[in-house]
Amino acid sequence: MDIQMPEMDGMEATKEIRNWESKMHGRNGKKFRIIIVAMTAHAMKGDRKKCIEGNMDDYISKPIKRELVFKAVEKWVLRRENL
């Protein structure tokens, strides 16, 4: 999720997604959660904490490195498989 998007920033988009999720049910009536990884040029102290507190699951700063994206995806896929 890009934090600096036009019209609706990533924090607001995440808030909308989490609100939508709270009304939906996955398979077998279980709640589900979309994994949201913040991607931002803001690499200042406290930005990661702000994103996590904003209900995002992870944080990657720009410039984006392919290896970090793959590691984040792998981490969240493995967590899902272990649920």
Tens digit of each residue's pLDDT (9 = 90 or more) over 16-33:
999 999 888 766 777 778
pLDDT for 77? 85
pLDDT score at 30: 72
**Which residue ranges make up each domain of the chain?**
10-81
Residue 76 pLDDT > 90: no
pLDDT over 60 at 34, yes or no: yes
Q: Is the pLDDT of residue 83 over 60?
A: no
pTM of the predicted structure, to 2 decimals: 0.80
Burial 20-33 (b: 16+ CB within 10 A, else e): eeeeeeeeeeeeee
Amino acid making up residue 20: W
The residue-averaged pLDDT of 40-49 equals 84
Decide which of 30 and 72 is more confident: 72
